[in-house]
Structure 1
Amino acid sequence: MKKIKRWLKNYNNSLSYVGLIVAVTFFSISLSPSLLPRPYILQGVLSGFSLLVGYSLGVACTYLWHYLELPEFKKQIKTTLQYIISALSILIFIYTIYASNNWQNELRILMGQAPNEEFLYIQMIAIALLLAFSLLFIARLFKKSFNNLRFTLHKLIPRRIANVLGLSLIAFIVFTFTNNFIISKIVTTFDEIYSIADENTDSGIKKPTNSLYTGSNSSLIQWKNLGRTGQNFIANGPTQAELTAFFSQKTLSPLRVYVGLRSRESAEQRAQLALQELIRIKGFSRSKLIVATPTGTGWLDPSAMNTFEYLHQGDTAIVSMQYSYLPSWLTLLVDPSGAKRSALVLYNTIHRYWSSLPKESRPDLYVFGLSLGALGAETSINLTTIINNPIQGGLFAGAPFPSTVSPQLIKQRNPSSPQWLPTIQDGSLVRFTAQENQLNNENWHWGPMRFVYIQYASDPMVFFSLDLYRKEPDWMKGERGHDVSPDFNWYPIITFLQVLFDLPMADKVPRGSSHRYSASSYIDGWVEVTQPKGLTKEKLKSIKHHFSDQ
């Protein structure tokens, strides 16, 4: 017991006062609202990282002060300042703890969620402290290793060279260990978990008997190789009978083709299989054809796919293929390039065959993507295909932050429009919309191709950026989206961490907020992009009412 007390005393004395003050400040600010409400566990992890970053920054500032040999405060002044700063830090801490649940509840109301009556403060603080001190302990182990290494090298080479070499070796070891063992093992574990989950079939989902369905006995693709998301996509679409009953007139059976990740080894082989299946079911005889890029898990949003098929009364075909098992937010942080490769290969394969068909009889061709799928879909269209055989357009929802196309468009927006709802030149090629339909403007006239982006102001998948730590984004300036808290302020470093930790919560909110795009928004987009024939205001209203809960 005495040894433990002595160790705790020595550990406490080794902590930096400035580091602790900055850490408490960072912790307090981390409780302030961001884009989305956070459960106490996530808040604890966020605050734990904020504690560590704040402490590290305070220690670095203290080291720099001493390194520059700046004058020290006299003892009496220093003590007085410490009392004042400590008191202010405690007051800020108490206030933010008290206000944090109100801030989170205001966000929940903005998202259409019920307020949370109980916030587990003690548990949240315990998680934050445990995480921060654990990471600090690991950091000190590495520091001790560095000191031991450089002292050993001092005996062999000059001191400055030993310091640089020792730091380089420790950094290399840490990077290699983290990347090859920790991150690699985590990603592999997640991939295995989601891969196993994808092998399962949800209850109520049965192998189709209709020969036009992918996975049927007549299909070129085995039902078991579609994976869970593919099976749901094929089985849960609207049937011809449902469409006929809804419109009270004869309709067609919507055609869907899906190739699971297990169907073939390479993306090229899967794309060829998708093409052959699409040809088998006569998908190119329909009036509208979509090349759809799914999210990271292979999921295609029913609110997007079903509404498209309703608007065209089943005279449609959709083709898609899986490229990953991992959720989009995790794939984005690890390797978002898979979506681009898969989308490009499928688009080129379908477009090449489509271009060989007579223009007067081939379907209108569009691209679609949600989230990581939007990243792939928007980059799949290359200049050569647009010039030689232009498609009719595309719909992209929640294009994520690694995207290169939509951010470039937003940078070139008209100066009077906000970043979260930009207008691009005369709106003849690209238009953006949000919860309320912003696609209609009497001064705008569409050109031969139509592209629409749907993005909600509260979507961290769209508005997270790597420079948030040092720069206030335009979407936080001036007018804000209705679902962004007016209490959300930008703070260096902390806002970066807050929005980063918003990412896994982006799809944990009700429809119509953040990264969960509503059927109504999809309908608005599809109407502008695909121009459904014979669509009256009454039909449009009835379709929106039919999907009002999605």
Structure 2
Amino acid sequence: MTPWRAAPGSLIRQDKSDEHHTPGQDRFFEDSVREIAPVKMAAIGAGIAAATYGVARAESLLTHGMARLASASLGGKPEDHRALGRITALGVSAGGAYLALNRVSAMLTKGGGAVEPGMEEPPSSLQITGCAESGLEWMKQTREGARWLASAVEPATIDSVMGTSKAKQPIRVYASLDIAEDPHERVAILLREIDRTRALERGHFALFSPTGSGYVNYVATETFEFLSGGDCASAAIQYSVLPSSFSLGNVSTGVDQTRMVIDGITERLLAMDPSERPHFYLFGESLGSQVSEGMFEGTWTYGPPGAKVDYALWIGTPSAAKWRKQLWGDRSITEIPDVGPDGIYLPRTIRDWLNLSEDERTQVRYLLLQNGDDPIPKFGSQLLWRRPDWLGPERPIGSPQHTLWVPGATF
């Protein structure tokens, strides 16, 4: 059989010549064939080896140079000052790496904080942050904030797609990193926008937690707007403009902001008549999932319902997220999970979700979804010293089936 050339995790119908094919069944290829090009892999390996050798050679030359300089200044042979040379070389290398990292960070910050050319025109709709009535400067909405705000679905589009005739203009409100220097002021701005647009008077309200760059999943937001007929409001608050790998140090700020926003929303919901409250949703993707879940650490399953959150979807929760680990406990990765208390469900892979019965799915209120082949939920510092269960004798779908754990190297 010719292997499918498909992106891991994509939903396609399996080739009928496959012996495991079930007629009429769609499959997520979380563990599909990974094609390896030997020439390409050899070239990459050679490049990495050359770069590593170059760095080592440069460090060695710098050490010898510092040792000779110390010998000329302090006397003695260069060999007597090799330790000093090593320490100096290490300091120079660390300093160079720090300056390079700062340079890259500054370049990324400049790009992430700027509204892109062609998007300088603020929205005209009163229901979107950045309009004249919001009183917030559009050019401070950052690249990702402006993209998200400018892409709100229009009522005519909703009616055209859904076959309806009375769709509303969806509300989108956003507090960008640049709109205020202080996190507390950023939270206050978002809550003022929620009040100004009467977001909680809609039938559905969702708080989206962005990834490190401030990106909010467009497909998730637009799906929310289409399925609700526009009778919805979406909100997001930014904690960084850098890619997620550069934003790990900002997670605590993101968690604190999210906690304050949810506290403000919960306070407003409690002040409303129960029959008039909107359905309250949370959504987080990748690092945004960690930020969104962070406020529930130590609350077991009581956190989301206690905050008046009706439903939540978290996708690709990073390994560093503590709440998911607390919920999973000491269960084995080989154990098929059940829907837990308060409707929380932690599937190991998408296949677990698909295998639930219709009744079981309707019980799920808080879904922590992940692709079996997504490395983000698997990659963590513990790989340095401990073999993870997904590299054990029995491995879930999506885990590499022939990879051996090697201390340090696997990390």
- Give me the TM-score of the superposition, normalised by structure 1: 0.58
1:457 has 2:372 as partner: yes
Identify if the C-alpha distance between structure 1 residues 386 and 483 changes in structure 2 by more than 3 Å, giving closer, same or farther: closer
1:300 has 2:216 as partner: yes
Identify if the C-alpha distance between structure 1 residues 175 and 450 changes in structure 2 by more than 3 Å, giving closer, same or farther: farther
| Structure 1 residue 285 displacement after superposition | 0.5
| Structure 1 residue 136 displacement after superposition | 5.8
Measure the CA separation in 1 of the matches of 2:189 and 2:123: 19
Give deviations 1:294-320, integer Å, cap 9, x for gaps.
Answer: 000000111222222222222211111
1:346 has 2:261 as partner: yes
| Structure 1 residue 143 displacement after superposition | 9.7
Q: Which residue of 1 aligns with 2:197?
A: 281
Aligned partner of residue 381 in structure 2, secondary structure? coil
Contact kept, 8 Å, 1:424 with 1:431, in 2: the verdict is: yes
Higher normalized helix content (fraction of residues): 1
Give deviations 1:392-440, integer Å, cap 9, x for gaps.
Answer: 1321111112211112223344x4x538xx6256464321343443373
| Structure 1 residue 141 displacement after superposition | 5.6
Aligned partner of residue 116 in structure 2, secondary structure? coil
| Structure 1 residue 202 displacement after superposition | 5.2
| Structure 1 residue 200 displacement after superposition | 3.5
Contact kept, 8 Å, 1:427 with 1:446, in 2: the verdict is: no
Measure the CA separation in 1 of the matches of 2:167 and 2:269: 24
Q: Which of 145, 148, 152 is equivalent to 1:233?
A: 148
* 1:108-123 map, 5 Å: 116=37, 118-119=39-40, 121=42
Measure the CA separation in 2 of the matches of 1:309 and 1:133: 53
Identify if the C-alpha distance between structure 1 residues 138 and 292 changes in structure 2 by more than 3 Å, giving closer, same or farther: same
Please list every run of 5 or more consecutive structure 2 residues that lacks an aligned counterpart in the other structure. Answer: 1-7, 9-28, 71-82
Q: Which of 308, 311, 315 is equivalent to 2:227?
A: 311
Contact kept, 8 Å, 2:115 with 2:140, in 1: the verdict is: no
Q: Which residue of 2 aligns with 1:134?
A: 55
1:404 has 2:314 as partner: no
Aligned partner of residue 452 in structure 1, secondary structure? strand
Measure the CA separation in 2 of the matches of 1:194 and 1:349: 32
| Structure 1 residue 147 displacement after superposition | 13
Measure the CA separation in 2 of the matches of 1:130 and 1:388: 53
| Structure 1 residue 324 displacement after superposition | 0.7
Letter in 2 for 1:276: R
Measure the CA separation in 2 of the matches of 1:430 and 1:136: 53
Identify if the C-alpha distance between structure 1 residues 309 and 270 changes in structure 2 by more than 3 Å, giving closer, same or farther: same
Measure the CA separation in 2 of the matches of 1:349 and 1:391: 13
Letter in 2 for 1:432: L
Q: Which residue of 2 aligns with 1:394?
A: 312
How many residues are treated as equivalent by the alignment?
Answer: 372
Aligned partner of residue 262 in structure 1, secondary structure? helix
Comparing both chains, which one has the higher relative contact order based on Cα–Cα distances under 8 Å and sequence gaps of 6 or more?
1
| Structure 1 residue 220 displacement after superposition | 3.0
Identify if the C-alpha distance between structure 1 residues 212 and 423 changes in structure 2 by more than 3 Å, giving closer, same or farther: same
| Structure 1 residue 343 displacement after superposition | 2.3
Measure the CA separation in 2 of the matches of 1:178 and 1:272: 43
Q: Which has the larger radius of gyration?
A: 1
Identity score, percent: 21
Aligned partner of residue 173 in structure 2, secondary structure? strand
Contact kept, 8 Å, 2:285 with 2:317, in 1: the verdict is: yes
Measure the CA separation in 1 of the matches of 2:174 and 2:321: 24
Identify if the C-alpha distance between structure 1 residues 443 and 232 changes in structure 2 by more than 3 Å, giving closer, same or farther: closer
Q: Which residue of 2 aligns with 1:81?
A: none
1:195 has 2:113 as partner: no
Letter in 2 for 1:400: P
Contact kept, 8 Å, 1:458 with 1:481, in 2: the verdict is: no
Aligned partner of residue 366 in structure 1, secondary structure? strand
Q: Which of 163, 167, 192 is equivalent to 1:251?
A: 167
Letter in 1 for 2:103: T
Q: Which residue of 2 aligns with 1:217?
A: 132
Contact kept, 8 Å, 2:31 with 2:372, in 1: the verdict is: no
- Give me the TM-score of the superposition, normalised by structure 2: 0.76
Measure the CA separation in 1 of the matches of 2:100 and 2:281: 37
Q: Which of 480, 484, 487 is equivalent to 2:402?
A: 487
| Structure 1 residue 368 displacement after superposition | 1.6
| Structure 1 residue 183 displacement after superposition | 5.1
* 1:498-537 map, 5 Å: none
Identify if the C-alpha distance between structure 1 residues 183 and 352 changes in structure 2 by more than 3 Å, giving closer, same or farther: farther
Measure the CA separation in 2 of the matches of 1:310 and 1:445: 21
Aligned partner of residue 264 in structure 2, secondary structure? helix
Measure the CA separation in 1 of the matches of 2:317 and 2:292: 9
Aligned partner of residue 467 in structure 1, secondary structure? helix
Identify if the C-alpha distance between structure 1 residues 305 and 222 changes in structure 2 by more than 3 Å, giving closer, same or farther: same
Q: Which residue of 2 aligns with 1:366?
A: 281
Q: Which residue of 2 aligns with 1:95?
A: none
Letter in 1 for 2:308: P
Measure the CA separation in 1 of the matches of 2:396 and 2:277: 41
In angstroms, what is the RMSD of aligned CA positions? Answer: 4.0
Q: Which of 308, 328, 334 is equivalent to 1:418?
A: 334
Give deviations 1:198-245, integer Å, cap 9, x for gaps.
Answer: 313154674221121211122232211111111111112322111111
